[in-house]
C-alpha cells in the first residue's frame, strides 16, 4: 500500500510517501525563520506559507520516492488539532487529490500520530509495530504536553495534560525573556549544555501532585521575577548558561518524574516520548537513565521525527487503513480543537 501524507497543523509544511510501513520520503519545510521576527507563529503567515509550499513538498517526495500520483493507494492529512486555517490547507489539498484520483482519503489526529512516532525507526525509517508494547507515552511539544496510556495498538487513554503552558512553550517563553531567538527551545538546550543545572533552584510545578497533569506557567513567571530581582544578570554570560541549565533541569525533572510515576502506577514496562521537546538532550539523557534504573524499555522518537512531520501521519494512516479502522469520508472537515480524550477508537 502506497500513501501520500500531508501535515500542515502549525508552522511546518511536510509531505511524505509511505509504502508498507516504510517511509520512502519525508520532506519538512520549516517556517521558523518566517515567524522569528514576531517571536511566535503568526497564523496568517503560516497559512500563506503552507499554500506556497504544499504542492512543491508533495511533488518533491513523490519524485524522491520514485512514485507517481497513479501509484498512490490513499492520501492522508492531519485533521486536527492545530491552527484552523493552516490545517485547512493540507486537508483540502489531500481531499482534492483523493477526489481527483478516486482514492480513499484519511484524516489523522495529530497527537495520535505523535503517539506512534517512536515506533518508526531505522534507515530507511520503518514502522516497527511488531515490537509494540503497552506503554506510558509522553507527548511534549510547543503546543501540548500530555501523558497517555497506550493499552494496545490504536487503543489509548489520555492520563493528563498541561493546565496552562506546554513544556516547549515554557522553553520558548523563557528563551524570549533571556533574549534568545525564536524558537528558543533548541537555543536553551545549546546554552544549557555549558551551564550548571544545580546553580539555581526553580520550582517543579505539580511534580508531587497525585495526578498526571502538568503546569509550566509558574516556572516561566519565576524566571521573570528572578530577572527582575537580578538586574544586569543577562550581561554575565556564564551565569546565563547556568540559568538555561537550571530552568531546563526543572522542566526535565517534572517531565521525567511524572512519566515514570505513571509507568509504575500502571505497571507498564515501556515508556515512549515524542514531540519537538523530545529533541532536548537533557530530556533524552534523563529519561534514558530513569528508565534504565527502573528496568523499563524506552523508545524515544528519532530526532527528525520528534518535530512535526508527515511521515508519522502516513504511517498511522496506513496502519488504520489496514486494520479497517479509518474514516475515509470526503465530507470530513478539519477539527482544530480536537483533543485526544474526545478521540475514541472510532475515527471521525
Ligand atoms: O512538535 P513541534 O515541532 O511543534 C508543535 O506541535 O508544537 O515542537 C516545537 C517545540 C518548540 O516549542 C521548540 O522550542 C521545542 O519544541 N524544541 C525544543 C528543542 N527542540 C525543539 N525544546 C527544547 N530543547 C530542544 N532541543
Ligand atoms: Zn506536533
Residue 23 burial (C-beta neighbours within 10 Å; 0-12, 13-18, 19+): buried
Give me ligand 2 centre to Cα 178, in Å.
Answer: 25
CB of 81 closer than 6 angstroms to any ligand 1 atom? no
Q: Ligand 1 pocket test: pick from 171, 182, 287, 338 the residue with the most ligand atoms within 8 Å of its Cβ.
A: 171
Q: Give the pLDDT of residue 344.
A: 55
Give me ligand 1 centre to Cα 195, in Å.
Answer: 20
- Determine contact, residues 125/305, Cβ cutoff 8 Å: yes
Q: How far apart are CA 270 and CA 119, in angstroms?
A: 12
Give me ligand 1 centre to Cα 312, in Å.
Answer: 16
Q: Give the pLDDT of residue 343.
A: 65
Q: Give the pLDDT of residue 347.
A: 47
Q: How many CB atoms lie within 10 A of CB 193?
A: 13
CB of 172 closer than 6 angstroms to any ligand 1 atom? yes
Q: What is the DSSP letter of 214?
A: B
CB of 82 closer than 6 angstroms to any ligand 1 atom? no
CB of 180 closer than 6 angstroms to any ligand 1 atom? no
State which residues of the chain have pLDDT below 50.
345-348
Per-residue HEC secondary structure of 284-321 comes to HHHHHHHHHHHCCEEEECCHHHHCCCCHHHHHHHHHHH
| Ligand located closest to 280 CA | 1
Q: Give the pLDDT of residue 193.
A: 97
Give me ligand 1 centre to Cα 141, in Å.
Answer: 5
Q: Which residue puts its alpha carbon closest to atom 23 of ligand 1?
A: 185
| Ligand located closest to 283 CA | 1
Cell numbers found for residue 264 = 509504575
Query: What DSSP string describes 82-123?
Result: S-HHHHHHHHHHHHHHHHHHT--EEEEEHHHHHHHGGGEETT
Q: How far apart are CA 291 and CA 280, in angstroms?
A: 17
Between the CA of residue 330 and those of 81, 99, 110, 137, what are the distances in Å? 18, 8, 18, 31
Give me ligand 1 centre to Cα 251, in Å.
Answer: 13
Region for 206 from its dihedrals, namely left if φ exceeds 0, alpha if ψ lies in -120 to 50, beta otherwise: left
Q: Give the pLDDT of residue 256.
A: 98
CB of 275 closer than 6 angstroms to any ligand 1 atom? yes
CB of 318 closer than 6 angstroms to any ligand 1 atom? no
Q: Give the pLDDT of residue 346.
A: 47
- The answer for residues whose C-beta is within 8 angstroms of residue 230's C-beta and 6 or more apart is none
Q: Give the pLDDT of residue 75.
A: 98
Between the CA of residue 296 and those of 152, 287, 299, 302, what are the distances in Å? 17, 10, 10, 18
Per-residue HEC secondary structure of 255-295 comes to HHHHHHHHHHHHCCCEEEEECHHHHCHHHHHHHHHHHHHHC
CB of 280 closer than 6 angstroms to any ligand 1 atom? yes
Q: Ligand 1 pocket test: pick from 168, 275, 284 the residue with the most ligand atoms within 8 Å of its Cβ.
A: 168
Q: What domains can you pick out in the chain, each with its CATH number?
A: 2-125+308-344 (3.30.420.40), 133-301 (3.30.420.40)
Q: Which helix (H) or strand (E) holds 237?
A: helix 237-266
Q: Give the pLDDT of residue 171.
A: 97
Q: Ligand 1 pocket test: pick from 307, 310, 338 the residue with the most ligand atoms within 8 Å of its Cβ.
A: 307
Q: Give the pLDDT of residue 187.
A: 96
Q: Which atom of ligand 1 is nearest to the CA of 248?
A: 23
Q: Which atom of ligand 1 is nearest to the CA of 307?
A: 3
Query: What DSSP string describes 35-73?
Result: HHTTTS--HHHHHHHHHHHHHHHHHHHHHHTT--GGG-S
Question: What pTM was estimated for this model as a whole?
Answer: 0.94
Half-sphere exposure of 163 (CA within 13 A, CB side): 10
Amino acid at each position: 500500500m502506497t500513501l501520500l501524507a500531508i501535515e500542515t497543523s502549525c508552522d511546518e509544511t511536510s509531505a511524505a510517501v509511505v509504502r508498507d510501513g516504510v517511509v520512502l520520503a519525508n520532506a519538512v519545510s520549516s517556517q521558523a525563520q518566517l515567524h522569528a521576527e514576531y517571536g511566535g507563529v503568526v497564523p496568517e503567515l503560516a497559512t500563506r506559507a503552507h499554500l506556497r509550499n504544499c504542492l512543491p513538498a508533495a511533488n518533491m517526495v513523490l519524485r524522491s520516492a520514485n512514485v507517481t500520483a497513479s501509484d498512490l493507494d490513499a492520501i492522508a492529512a492531519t485533521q486536527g488539532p492545530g491552527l484552523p486555517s493552516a490545517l485547512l490547507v493540507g486537508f483540502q489539498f489531500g481531499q482534492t487529490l483523493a477526489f481527483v484520483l478516486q482514492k480513499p482519503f484519511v484524516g489523522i489526529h495529530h497527537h495520535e500520530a505523535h503517539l506512534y512516532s517512536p515506533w518508526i525507526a531505522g534507515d530507511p525509517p520503518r514502522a516497527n509495530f511488531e515490537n509494540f508494547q503497552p506503554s506510558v507515552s509522553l507527548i511534549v511539544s510547543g503546543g501540548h504536553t500530555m501523558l497517555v496510556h497506550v493499552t494496545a495498538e490504536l487503543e489509548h487513554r489520555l492520563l493528563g495534560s498541561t493546565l496552562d503552558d506546554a513544556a516547549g512553550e515554557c522553553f520558548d517563553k523563557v528563551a524570549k525573556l533571556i533574549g534568545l531567538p525564536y524558537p528558543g527551545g533548541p537555543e536553551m538546550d545549546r546554552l544549557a549544555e555549558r551551564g550548571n543545572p544545580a546553580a539555581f533552584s526553580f520550582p517543579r510545578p505539580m511534580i508531587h501532585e497525585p495526578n498526571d497533569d502538568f503546569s509550566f506557567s509558574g516556572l516561566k513567571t519565576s524566571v521573570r521575577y528572578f530577572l527582575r530581582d537580578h538586574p544586569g544578570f543577562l550581561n554575565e554570560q556564564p551565569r546565563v548558561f547556568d540559568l538555561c541549565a537550571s530552568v531546563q533541569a526543572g522542566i526535565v525533572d517534572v517531565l521525567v518524574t511524572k512519566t515514570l510515576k505513571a509507568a509504575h502506577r500502571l505497571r507498564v514496562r515501556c515508556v515512549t516520548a515524542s514531540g519537538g521537546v523530545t529533541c532536548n538532550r537533557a530530556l533524552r539523557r534523563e529519561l534514558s537513565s530513569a528508565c534504565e534504573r527502573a528496568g523499563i524499555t524506552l523508545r524515544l522518537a528519532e530526532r527528525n521525527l520528534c518535530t512535526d512531520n508527515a511521515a508519522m501521519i502516513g504511517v498511522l494512516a496506513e496502519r488504520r487503513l489496514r486494520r479497517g479502522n479509518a474514516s475515509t469520508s470526503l465530507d470530513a472537515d478539519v477539527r482544530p480543537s480536537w483533543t485526544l480524550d474526545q478521540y475514541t477508537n472510532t475515527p471521525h
